[in-house]
Structure 1
Amino acid sequence: MKINQKLYTIKNYIHSFITLSLLLSLLGITTQHVHAEVIDRIEINQVGDEAEIQLHFITRIQYKRQAVLKSGDIRIYVTLLDIESDDPRLVWEKKGSPSSDIVLPFTITYPELDSSLTLSFGKVVKSRVRAGSDGYSLSIFTKAIKPKKQEQIKLPVVVPPVAVALPSLSVAATAITKTEAVVSKPLPKDATPVVEPTGFATDVPVDAAQKTPEQIEQEAQQLYVLASDALQANQIGTSIDALNKVLNLPPNILTQAAQELMGEAREKNGEFVKARAEYELYLKLYPKALDAKQVQAKIANLPKEDTKPVQAPPSQVAQEEDEGKIKITGGISQIYYKGLSNTNTFDTSGATPTTTVQAREDLSLLTSALDMTAWKRSEKYDTRVVLRESNKINFLPNKPEDYRWNVAYLEQRARNRKFMYRLGRQSSAPKVWIPGRFDGLTGGYSFNSTWRVNAALGKPVEFGTSGDEKTFYSGSVELNILQWSGSVYSGMEYIGGYRGKVGGVKSRRVLGADVFYSDTQRNYLTQLEFDTIYHKINFATFQGNWTHEPSATSYFMRADHRRSPSVALSLTGQFSQSLKEVLGSGRISLQALRDNAVSLSPISNTLSFGLSRIYSPRLTLSSDFTITNTAGTGAYIDTLTSPTLPTTQPAAVGTNNQYSYSVTATGNNLIFENDAGTAAAIFTSSDTNKSQTLVFSQTSVLKQKWRVGAGLALVNQSSSAGRHETQIKPSAKADYTMSDTTSFSTEIGLEFNHPTTATSDEKIFNKYFSLGYRWDFR
């Protein structure tokens, strides 16, 4: 009944939503293209005893740093690598969390006045942030709030303990022997629930001496994951049995972690005497462990006597409230943007000085978005239907309409993570190459915890105006070993047909690889892609983040070499006909088109480095340094300007090195309780331009429901051509949360620009505002 009511409410809401758009269209109001929301989707997975919140973006990103406010809000600073952060076409967005029983509800807001992203749980939640393994995502880890079910087991990246000199095998064996009666004896068979987890084998060969070190590490990982997951599911007997097997293996990377977890398992089972013995043995074996004081505190807080061990029956653990039910979550939002400008130009280039005054309306735009997910969980499968629609209506005349279904697909995953498939319109795919948004099929299959294969097949959408149909297919192989993961992929795209059919021509054929490493202190990502048709590197990139805990300093680095756009056979902007018509006319050859593709894919290089240091709970200082340069485009044959007489357009000059240096101070609780403030100085220089920028922003939370902010940017620019410009940009923003599902937002800004040259003096005054709302249904 509740689902029917919700569907009825959503249906009425969408009906009004579409009716408004149609009415505006009938009045002659059309739309223009603007950037979509940069956050593509939010996913929540369980990794051991942690919940992993994955934020997937439509663009490549560089994660820089995070700042946690006293309110618990997490400010995450990222750089959008394919979209400028101050691009006026960017859409402000606020997203609610997907339905989940392992993490508290949260909201995502982007961009803030200081271009950061805010993750808010509404309370203080301990978390950590890292870059994703694909260059397009972020992962935020928090402690899971609900025990994990065996059917949901997912092998995490297992983090090794801090390196501590291990005692010799004989010493460890002696220590264990002394407490054998307490800690090393496996439980009787009748004390272990008969629940066999799916997804990986748990049989341990008797003769460990015959195993290689790699086999021992892999076996230890599998057993440790089983123990951790079983403990979270309250299957303590299974957990203790698996931990005993880890501890009976030769010393390995998880021996230390397993010894401590054994104490936690005994403690959770009410066996406090045995738990004390396990913790004491841990301190004896690893006296220099970083968490030694915490373990000592656990010992001090242990009761002296045991309680009756608690073992949840498997039937109770397997039950799940939402199993078999359909959940519908998502949200509807609308934002109106208005922009006006006034320009006063004094020109002395002519015989008589002239003054020109111009006032115009630059922007009058209504953006609407629907994000809806229908989700059903059964005993073995998770099934989702995801719909994301956007509609941008422009109140200015002579603008094209922009209405699109960005995402519309059916997805099904096995709950043991063995396989998944997704059918429909998609804008991303897991660990496999795609040319962009497409209609088609993706899927993946895991052979075990180490190996996985993925594939994709479909037709790209929104790829240009030439009228040619495109088709692509791709595949990849993934490898996951402890903290390391990587993949090798290949993909092919055709224009005008499939695999050599009439009009079918290979547009590009890529071969790529990536390697990702992550632990609690650092993560590194290396990617390489090569086109085997053009024999050119599309990109080679490295980015990493690491933390030095003793000094509370975090670092990031990015080195990037790429063609932008990637080299591909494309007619957009060059020809008004289809590929078949162009080649059939005889005016240009296929090889000339491929040469055009290389010429129109210039190379850019970037080297970026930054650090941030927490000086106090209220103050963080950071600094970034970046060097960039871009090669010019090569000469190419142009038939768009004169279809009957192709001409060669000359090469364009690129840019020399541009250097950018910034210093930023971020603070909280500066003026009000739970406020956040940022002050930054940015200096940029090249052979032809120099600029200095000061940026200030302040955000405060008032009475929990209101969040208000103010910002100011001061810019001074000069060029070698004699142009000088100053800019003053004040802004203010306010958000009001009316309820858990409804919120409103507004922003207003002014811009005072004063560019001058030897013969002109301009004064430009811009003003803009936005007003919007979001309604979430859960």
Structure 2
Amino acid sequence: MQLKFESRLHFWLLPLLLLLFTTQSQAASRILDRIEIGSEEGANVIAVHFNVPVRYVSHLINESNTELGVQVRVGQTTDTDLGAATEQDQDGELDQEDQLTWSPSAAVPLDKVVFQGSRLGTSTLLVSFAAPVGDVKIRQGRDFYVMEFILPQQVRRSSGFGQARLKTLQTEVPEMKAPLSVKALPLVIYVLNLGVQSEPVDYEEMPPVPIGENQLLYSTKGEIEGNPIYRLRLGFFRTKQDAKRQLEAVRSFYPDAWIDTADIVERRQAFFERGLEPGLDGQYMEEPELANVDPRITKMMDMIRRTITAGDYAKAVRLLEALLEEPDNIYTQEALELLGLSRERNGQIAHAKGEYRLYLEKYPEGEDAERVMQRLLGLETAPQRPKETLRKRPKPGEPGSEEEEERAIWDVYGSFSQNYRRDKIDSPFVEDEDSISRSEIESFVDFNARRRNEDYDMRMKVTGSYIYDLLDDGENDTTLSDAYIDVEHLDSRTSAKFGRQRLRSSGILNRFDGLVLGYELTPDINIRASAGLPVERSRDTFLHDHKQFAGISGDFSSIFENWDASLFFVEQRVDGLVDRRAVGGEVRYYDPQKSLFSLVDYDIFHKELGIFMLQTNLRLESKTSLYLNLDYRTSPILMTSNALSGQSDPDSFLPIESIEELQDFYSDDEIYDLALDRTAKSTSISLGVTHPFSDTLQLSGDFTASKTGETPASGGVLATDATDTEFFYSFQVIKNDLLKQGDIGVFTLRYSDSDTSDTYRVGVSSRYPITNAWRVNPRLDVSYRENKENDGTRFTVSPFLRMDYRLRKDFTFELEGGVNWFEEDDGTEVTNFTDFFFYAGYRWDF
């Protein structure tokens, strides 16, 4: 959606609207951060961003090419607000499911990304598409916080109707009886009229269409009462019955579609003015040959593609200009086209036209030249706003001028959802009036706005939720996960980001309210300075100034081939005392066969190593994947604030909640000693292997050993004993058609040998599309726990069912229900109780 603000008043109203959203703003995604859509030559790219480091292991896709199951491994995080999402429970489980949604289009028919995970073993990332996709490739981000899904574009020639190049994704639907031919078509041939509009069809933004290899998506232009109209059509069908079957497949995205007929003129235009032979499949773009290429140039091109995918077109322009200064090579032609494309998407229309013209001068022949010509024609013939003949034309730069109007284009997108949740307990120990443990309405908003022109790239984001509790003794709750404005000045290569945000690779342990200033020293070196107030929980919607921090950090890309690094220094204070003063950094290595991620965080004030983390992955020629994780850290992360643990006022016996209060009873040095005493040290090691036995079956096994050290008694707080070494084992199968034809199923066996219990778990889940609009996700978990401190046991059976129904492209209903049935035996008696839960809601994507 694009909004044009025609005065400076509207410019200041938008931040105000963002703030208003926070008062009525599902808890924010914890594992998943956001989705960004980009493109590179011959492909559309879906970039899924995470709040924790995630590494790709393997993947498979279902038979209908609409569900992609990806096995991933989740790394540790320093973010204390994400601790609940990445720490194991006593049985070694990460009971975490998270999801992000997208409004699908024909070019990128992405519907939803669902994370189902556990710190023990591999987790599963399910990627759902609203229409079949072709050969999806997966690319791991070099910082391990991004995973990219690359959808090849099927390139077809322009129709000559004055519209942009048509890009469709190769799909698989039942074939027609025979390849169509204009001569072989009957006199009456049927088409689907998907829609009518007054503007030329934008194939990049339209809803997805399942296109068979013998079908063609095209548009026609006509007039009604002198006004142009454009019809989006899908053809051709020999019988009306064939058309009816396809009509049902597109109804969820084109509810007003109808069956029409096409005459011979329209059919000839659709085939031959496109330069297509009937039944001819589109050709995929081929990657250039890499022989005899300077590795440095190849690395630059790889960085350019990633930068364009991330939507940082200003940086892409600078990188492309640097590459084009090199002697001509196999990337020169592609780089020149990408330079025009990046300038176009960065709002530099005049510059983009110049780059396209230069391209056509150097490379006037071939399909690539036709594509660039269409882009150039699209810019030169773009519809202009009607001008009032009696109105004085504004001067350049004045409100209302074309220059000012171009600079004031906002791209606004996001989602709003509401749902009702209800939990009920059936237990002999709970009275009927207390059996409803949850009854609430949750509202969630994710609001994003972006404006780009030749001078600035500006982003705004607000993500939050509001929970209205319907219980008599319940309390309403508000969360605010993100609320920031991010501005980059392109010429000076400086940036400023203000508000509630996260900053990775900086030594800042969690989200914060504050300011980050950045400077791009070179395309490979970025320096940042930051300051603000830490936010320990997203429920803290107001500023808390008892803690402050300041820091500096730097990112260094491609210091060696495939190696990146980050360094940081940060100091945080609490009520006048040093909370932590840390130096450290990250080292990252990635190539298609192996990867490494390492983090060191050392507190130079407390003189303790806070974190050492090493994560490695190796992919063998047999496609077997091996991994090793080492993790040492203080638990919790060492800070002076840890001294508050277990402290209470000796007179009132109320908990002491601030360091300022604690200073009434202890000296500063004693408080620092208490913080060290309340901080344990934990170590874990994990080993794992994954092997794909076929395109439809993959197996993985994992082993983890962990141990947490003791803490001494001091300050009236009792000592805690060190744990024994705890062991966790996991075996997982991910398979197509596990429960039903067309599904992606996950079967899991887990065993944990912890300090307090032995636990056995079996789980099976499936996700499959009933139709393009309707998906179901059944799941069953069974567990048995034996306590070590007594003879107690617990047996649990938990069936769940989740359903999604997309009513329109931008509107989805969600329904989920389940039961947890428990049988507990404490050695003297057996108790049964049941927990029911129900969830229903809707989501609007805008």
Asked if these proteins are the same fold (TM beyond 0.5), I'd say yes
Query: Which amino acid is 1:360 matched to?
Result: S
Could you tell me which residue of structure 2 aligns to residue 67 of structure 1? 60
Shift of the 141–569 alpha-carbon distance from structure 1 to 2, 3 Å rule, reads farther
Shift of the 15–559 alpha-carbon distance from structure 1 to 2, 3 Å rule, reads closer
Q: Measure, in 2, the Cα distance between the counterparts of 1:733 and 1:204.
A: 52
Does residue 229 (structure 1) correspond to residue 335 (structure 2)? The answer is: yes
What is the aligned counterpart of 2:471 among 375, 388, 396?
396
Does residue 107 (structure 1) correspond to residue 111 (structure 2)? The answer is: yes
| More moved, 361-370 vs 126-135 | 126-135
Could you tell me which residue of structure 1 aligns to residue 708 of structure 2? 630
What is the aligned counterpart of 2:631 among 560, 564, 583?
560
After TM superposition, the structure 1 = structure 2 runs for residues 501-512 of structure 1, keeping only pairs within 5 Å, are 504-512=576-584
Does residue 96 (structure 1) correspond to residue 180 (structure 2)? The answer is: no
After TM superposition, the structure 1 = structure 2 runs for residues 302-341 of structure 1, keeping only pairs within 5 Å, are 312=373, 324-341=408-425
1:754 is paired with a residue whose SS is strand
Q: Measure, in 1, the Cα distance between the counterparts of 2:595 and 2:94.
A: 32
Does residue 706 (structure 1) correspond to residue 774 (structure 2)? The answer is: yes
Say if 1:373 and 1:386, in contact at 8 Å, map to a contact too.
yes
Say if 1:134 and 1:431, in contact at 8 Å, map to a contact too.
no
What is the aligned counterpart of 2:617 among 545, 554, 567?
545
2:676 is paired with a residue whose SS is helix
C-alpha displacement at 1:363, in angstroms?
2.1
Q: Measure, in 2, the Cα distance between the counterparts of 1:622 and 1:416.
A: 49
Could you tell me which residue of structure 1 aligns to residue 181 of structure 2? none
Could you tell me which residue of structure 2 aligns to residue 484 of structure 1? 563
Query: Which amino acid is 1:701 matched to?
Result: P
Query: Which amino acid is 2:619 matched to?
Result: T
Q: Measure, in 2, the Cα distance between the counterparts of 1:591 and 1:145.
A: 68
Q: Measure, in 2, the Cα distance between the counterparts of 1:536 and 1:113.
A: 32
What is the aligned counterpart of 2:746 among 657, 670, 678?
678
Shift of the 4–204 alpha-carbon distance from structure 1 to 2, 3 Å rule, reads closer
Could you tell me which residue of structure 2 aligns to residue 653 of structure 1? 721
C-alpha displacement at 1:478, in angstroms?
1.8
C-alpha displacement at 1:749, in angstroms?
1.1
Shift of the 430–437 alpha-carbon distance from structure 1 to 2, 3 Å rule, reads closer
What is the aligned counterpart of 2:786 among 718, 726, 735?
718
After TM superposition, the structure 1 = structure 2 runs for residues 344-363 of structure 1, keeping only pairs within 5 Å, are 344=428, 360-363=435-438
C-alpha displacement at 1:40, in angstroms?
2.9
Say if 1:36 and 1:90, in contact at 8 Å, map to a contact too.
no
After TM superposition, the structure 1 = structure 2 runs for residues 370-385 of structure 1, keeping only pairs within 5 Å, are 370-385=445-460
Query: Which amino acid is 2:718 matched to?
Result: P
Could you tell me which residue of structure 2 aligns to residue 184 of structure 1? none
Identity of counterpart residues, as a percentage? 22
What is the aligned counterpart of 2:124 among 116, 128, 152?
116
Could you tell me which residue of structure 1 aligns to residue 3 of structure 2? 3
C-alpha displacement at 1:357, in angstroms?
10
Shift of the 20–60 alpha-carbon distance from structure 1 to 2, 3 Å rule, reads closer
What is the aligned counterpart of 1:663 among 731, 736, 747?
731
After TM superposition, the structure 1 = structure 2 runs for residues 193-212 of structure 1, keeping only pairs within 5 Å, are 198-199=318-319, 202=322
TM-score by length of 2: 0.63
Could you tell me which residue of structure 2 aligns to residue 519 of structure 1? 591
C-alpha displacement at 1:425, in angstroms?
1.7
Say if 1:44 and 1:100, in contact at 8 Å, map to a contact too.
no
Query: Which amino acid is 1:679 matched to?
Result: F
Q: Measure, in 1, the Cα distance between the counterparts of 2:369 and 2:73.
A: 54
Say if 1:269 and 1:310, in contact at 8 Å, map to a contact too.
no
Query: Which amino acid is 2:108 matched to?
Result: L
What is the CA deviation profile of residues 455-499 of structure 1, one whole-angstrom value per residue up to 9, with x for unaligned ones?
211112346899762211111122112411101111111223xxx
Say if 1:611 and 1:623, in contact at 8 Å, map to a contact too.
yes
Matched residues, number = 616
TM-score by length of 1: 0.68
Unaligned ranges ≥5, structure 2? 77-82, 156-163, 166-286, 294-315, 342-358, 383-405, 648-654
Shift of the 400–136 alpha-carbon distance from structure 1 to 2, 3 Å rule, reads farther
Query: Which amino acid is 1:692 matched to?
Result: Y
C-alpha displacement at 1:308, in angstroms?
8.8
1:198 is paired with a residue whose SS is helix
Query: Which amino acid is 1:116 matched to?
Result: T
Cα RMSD of the aligned pairs, angstroms, is: 4.7
Could you tell me which residue of structure 2 aligns to residue 187 of structure 1? none
Q: Measure, in 2, the Cα distance between the counterparts of 1:312 and 1:356.
A: 74
C-alpha displacement at 1:45, in angstroms?
5.5
Could you tell me which residue of structure 2 aligns to residue 580 of structure 1? 660
Say if 2:525 and 2:556, in contact at 8 Å, map to a contact too.
yes
Could you tell me which residue of structure 2 aligns to residue 189 of structure 1? none
Shift of the 319–726 alpha-carbon distance from structure 1 to 2, 3 Å rule, reads farther
C-alpha displacement at 1:554, in angstroms?
2.7
Could you tell me which residue of structure 1 aligns to residue 828 of structure 2? 759
Does residue 692 (structure 1) correspond to residue 760 (structure 2)? The answer is: yes
Relative contact order (alpha carbons < 8 A, sep ≥ 6): 1 or 2 greater? 2
Shift of the 608–62 alpha-carbon distance from structure 1 to 2, 3 Å rule, reads farther
What is the aligned counterpart of 2:500 among 422, 425, 440?
425
Shift of the 320–419 alpha-carbon distance from structure 1 to 2, 3 Å rule, reads farther
Query: Which amino acid is 1:580 matched to?
Result: E
Does residue 439 (structure 1) correspond to residue 518 (structure 2)? The answer is: no
1:606 is paired with a residue whose SS is strand
Unaligned ranges ≥5, structure 1? 22-32, 149-158, 168-195, 206-218, 236-264, 273-305, 346-354, 497-503, 638-647
Shift of the 330–456 alpha-carbon distance from structure 1 to 2, 3 Å rule, reads same
C-alpha displacement at 1:34, in angstroms?
6.9
Does residue 472 (structure 1) correspond to residue 481 (structure 2)? The answer is: no
C-alpha displacement at 1:534, in angstroms?
0.8
C-alpha displacement at 1:143, in angstroms?
5.2
Q: Measure, in 2, the Cα distance between the counterparts of 1:143 and 1:531.
A: 47
Q: Measure, in 1, the Cα distance between the counterparts of 2:96 and 2:333.
A: 45
What is the aligned counterpart of 2:680 among 594, 597, 602?
602
Q: Measure, in 2, the Cα distance between the counterparts of 1:769 and 1:690.
A: 30
1:655 is paired with a residue whose SS is coil
Does residue 450 (structure 1) correspond to residue 524 (structure 2)? The answer is: yes
Shift of the 741–480 alpha-carbon distance from structure 1 to 2, 3 Å rule, reads same
| More moved, 115-124 vs 563-572 | 115-124
Query: Which amino acid is 1:576 matched to?
Result: I
Say if 1:55 and 1:138, in contact at 8 Å, map to a contact too.
yes
What is the CA deviation profile of residues 542-594 of structure 1, one whole-angstrom value per residue up to 9, with x for unaligned ones?
1133323x4232333321111232111216554536433432x2x21112222
Q: Measure, in 2, the Cα distance between the counterparts of 1:661 and 1:554.
A: 17
What is the CA deviation profile of residues 681-738 of structure 1, one whole-angstrom value per residue up to 9, with x for unaligned ones?
1122246522221111122211211111221112122122322221111111111111
